[in-house]
Amino acid sequence: MRAVMNRFSDVYQMELLTDDGSGACALYESLGFVRGDAMGCVSYVRVAVGPDV
């Protein structure tokens, strides 16, 4: 993850989407990421499920 962040250090904004379990939040927070809701941001996600969607 640090290698990716270093490679794209000139990018204004990095976003990622993860579940809130399994230590993922602690990992990303340790790398300097902040929860979107803590910044007044909203995120929307639509996940296609099944072959008909």
**pLDDT(45) > 80:** yes
**Model pTM greater than 0.75?**
no
pLDDT in tens, 3-42: 999 999 999 988 888 888 778 889 999 999 998 889 998 8
Write down the residue that tokens 């996940």 correspond to.
47
On whether the CB atoms of residues 19 and 31 are closer than 8 A, the answer is no
Which positions ≥6 away from 18 have C-beta within 8 Å? 24, 25, 28
pLDDT at 9: 93
The predicted structure's pLDDT at residue 53? 58
Q: Is the pLDDT of residue 51 over 80?
A: no
